Amino acid sequence: MQSLPCKEGFLHRLFGISESFPEHIAIKDLDVDAGIFTYRELQVKAEKCNGALQELNVVPGEKVALVLPSGVEFIAYFLAIIGRGAIPVLLNYKLMPFEMASVVGSARPVLVVTTATLFEKHRETFQLTYGVRHSLLVDTVGDSSSLPENATSEAGLAQRSEPLVLPEGNPIVSIQFTYRGMGKPLAVPHRYLDMTHAIDGMHEQIHRQGVGSVHLVTLPLHAIFGLTAMMVFPLSVGATLLMTNTLLNRDLAEVLSQHEVSFTCLVPDVIRYFNTRLAKRKGARLPMHPKLMIYSGGSHLPADEAEKLGRLLGCKPVVQGYGLTETMPVLLQSTLGVTQRGAMGQPIRGVELRVVDAQGQDVAPGRIGELLVRGAMVIDGYADAEEANKRFFRDGWLHTGDLVWRDDDGHVFFYRQRLRISKIKAQMVDLMEIEAVAMQHPDVLRAKAYIVPDHKEINALHLCVEGHAALTQSVLATLLSQHLSGFKLPKTIEVSVLKEPSHAS
């Protein structure tokens, strides 16, 4: 591991903000009537969450899974788990039971913090068989006697507060999951000072943010891009998190203007959606914060879409970036300085990169090769995944699997992904996982998933299967929908029926 320039991490900084600006608004949730929390109130809530963890006998070093939608409960428990010396495992609350069992079985957290509805959905997984000693339900009220022995209502606890302890050194402060074309999820551990270094590198390339800045939270906090860019970063500089889970039903221009938003991140599919809506918007253009910066990540954004959103809102074009779950997440960034149209950007501070051919030799500018990266914000390896580590972490470099090229000034341009993974709706899809689920049907003999970009450069997933005569598209679609999240479901399913061998009379 490389030496780290950060000597204090983001929780240290948040505590400093809470002490210096206790009444400054940390969170404003547009979906909740009483959704405003000052920095002091957020710290107090996190301390109460820590008290709940203590009552359930969570000790330092143990894993605690958060299966919650983005909101103050997610944020407060994330801070509490770190402040207890435990390890947050951040899981997508929209996963299907089949998918949830895979990640929980891999992480084996002792406690799951979730809602009553999600507990019922995943009751079979949130059990000791998968390492889960107990589940804490944050939204149940009144009598909790009907709950099973391995579940507790937050309201039924003593509601004691327990101070948070600042981390020492560089411990693991989150575990998230990604896919690398191996048909199974890989656990990605992130460390405290590494994550702080990553957000510092991103901050150096944008307008300075701090107390008085307003950040519109548009990404799920369980994913690394949302966690770092939308939560850890703003809370470490004293900004206000403007939260909503209903942004697609709102007027983006009105939200940005009314709340004087200075920074937000939008994934490409959402940018396309709002480009279409804003083009039809009536009335005068609304005034924006003079230094409003809109950031894009999660998957490749065509340059014309980035420029279009800037024109429609009356602000600068969308800033692009590049990163992976393994890099927390930003490695490359378009900056406020010289940029190149369509480029993902240049390396942020502390990032080294190479572009190499199939033999591992560096290629010249303008030539396509695989992107290799290293730096303090790049993880050392996946947890408990020796085969994957040998494949992707070699000689101190992370082999990204992304094919890129560089111009003479070092701007990096995306070409395509060479691994059997892809981004659908800005979320990772492992083609081997799709095929493995299809193969569970007894009439399927072979399955092949593949990606074809449509006319708008949006990735579309397709599935071809070969099988016996009883096999139908409807049967396969039902099987897949029972096991996989919506973004993993193929746009088309092609069924080829193999001829049965004839038997002579």
CB count within 10 Å of CB 228 equals: 27
CB count within 10 Å of CB 362 equals: 11
Comparing CA positions, the residue from 493, 487, 485, 488 lying closest to residue 465 is 493
The DSSP code sequence of 410-438 is --EEEEEE-SSEEEETTEEEEHHHHHHHH
Residue environment code for 309-337, b if the CB has 16+ CB neighbours within 10 A, otherwise e: beebbebbbbbbbbbbbbbbbbbbbbeee
Q: pLDDT value at position 372?
A: 97
Angle at which helices 192-203 and 10-20 cross, to 10°: 70
Per-residue tens of pLDDT for the chain, all 505 residues = 344 455 789 999 999 999 999 999 999 999 998 899 999 999 999 999 999 999 999 999 999 999 999 999 999 999 999 999 999 999 999 999 999 999 999 999 999 999 999 999 999 999 999 999 999 999 876 556 678 999 999 999 988 999 999 999 999 999 999 999 999 999 999 999 999 999 999 899 889 999 999 999 999 999 999 999 999 999 999 999 999 999 999 999 999 999 999 999 999 999 999 999 999 999 899 999 999 999 998 888 888 999 999 999 999 889 888 999 999 888 888 877 778 888 898 998 889 999 999 999 999 999 999 999 999 889 999 999 999 999 999 999 999 999 999 999 999 999 988 899 998 888 899 999 999 999 999 999 999 999 988 777 788 899 999 999 889 999 999 999 999 999 999 999 999 988 766 655 4
Per the document, the length of the chain is 505
Please give the C-alpha separations between residue 104 and each of 15, 163, 187, 192, 222, in angstroms, as whole numbers: 31, 28, 10, 22, 14
Q: What is the pLDDT of residues 345-370, one digit of tens each?
A: 899 888 999 999 999 999 999 999 99
Report yes or no: 351 and 326 within 8 Å, Cβ to Cβ. no
Q: Return the SS3 of 83.
A: helix
What CATH number has the domain spanning 421-497?
A: 3.30.300.30
Residues spanned by CATH 2.30.38.10 within the chain?
Answer: 348-419
Question: In CATH, what class is 39-191?
Answer: alpha beta
DSSP secondary structure letter of residue 487: G
Q: What is the pLDDT of residues 5-53, one digit of tens each?
A: 557 899 999 999 999 999 999 999 999 988 999 999 999 999 999 999 9
Q: What architecture does CATH give domain 348-419? A: Roll (2.30)
Residues spanned by CATH 3.30.300.30 within the chain?
Answer: 421-497
- pTM for the model: 0.93
Residues spanned by CATH 3.40.50.980 within the chain?
Answer: 39-191
